[in-house]
Structure 1
Amino acid sequence: MPESKLTELLRERGLRLTPQRQLVLDAVKELGHATPEQVHVRVQHIAAGVNITTIYRTLELLEELGLVNHAHLSHGAPTYHAGEDRHVHLVCKECGGIDELETAQLGPLAQLLCEEHGFHLDVGHVSFVGICGACKR
C-alpha cells in the first residue's frame, strides 16, 4: 500500500503519523471549511479524548506541511480547508454560506495594490463578506 502524503511529509520532518493527526486531516477534508471547534466536534465523535489544544497544534502542523490552509472568514476563529489550491472566499453574512472564487480573478486588483501602494496581496487569505444571490432574492 502506498504511503500517504501526510505520512511522507511527517517522516521527512522526523515526525510520526498519529491517529489524532490523521483524524484532524480527515475532519477538515470532510467538513470542507471548518473552524478548529468544528474539527474538534467531528474528531470527538471518533476519539473522545482528543482535546482542543491538540486540534489547534495539529492544524498548525498540517498548515506548515501544506496540507491545509486557513482564512479568516469572520471575526471568530480561522477557518481551515484541505488541499493545496488557494482560493478567495465569498462569505454570505445572511446565511453564512461560503463560495469560492479563483485567485486569478483578483490579479488586476493585486497588481494595482502592488503598483500604487507597494502592497503584495496574499490572495489565498482573502475573503469578501456580502450577501449571496440566494439571500438577495
Structure 2
Amino acid sequence: MEQDMVEKEWRIYSSEDDRDWVILSDRDRAETKEDIHSVNQKEAVMRMYRRPGDFVSVSLLSASYEIDDVTGKLGHERDFYLKIECLQDGWASISSQVYKKEEAVTLANLFMGLRKDAAIKLWKLKKLGENNLGDRIEK
C-alpha cells in the first residue's frame, strides 16, 4: 500500500517592526503575499526555510461522526483515534481502533519525543495499525 507523502517545511519570517512569525507549509507550495506580511501588514525583511526534524507529531483525532443526518445525533463522540506523522517526509499512520480519552492520552505520551524510526517500531510492537498509512484506516 502506497502513501502520498507531502513534505513540510518551517518558514520563518521577521520584519523590522513586528515580531517573528512561522508558517508550517507544504514544501512545494509557492510563497504567497500573505506569507511574507505580518498580521500588521509589515513586509518581512528576513526569511528562512527549514526542514522539520524526523521526530513524529502526535495527534488525537475525534472519532465522532453523524449517525442521523435528520437529528444530528453523533456516534463515537467520546472516542479518539491516535495519529502519528513525520512532518519531514509526510509519513503518517492512524490507529485501527478508537480509544477513550484517558487511554488515548496515555498512548499518545508514549510517542512524544520519538524519532520516526523508533515511533514506527513502537507502533508495530503495540499493533496499532501497521497497514494504516496516511488517512486510510484498516480495521
Task: Please say whether Structure 1 and Structure 2 have the same fold, judged by a TM-score greater than 0.5.
Answer: no
What TM-score do you get using the length of structure 2 for normalisation? 0.22
What TM-score do you get using the length of structure 1 for normalisation? 0.22
Between 1 and 2, higher relative CO (CA 8 Å, sep ≥ 6) is seen in 2
Task: From the CA coordinates, give the structure whose radius of gyration is larger.
Answer: 2
More helix by share: 1
More strand by share: 2
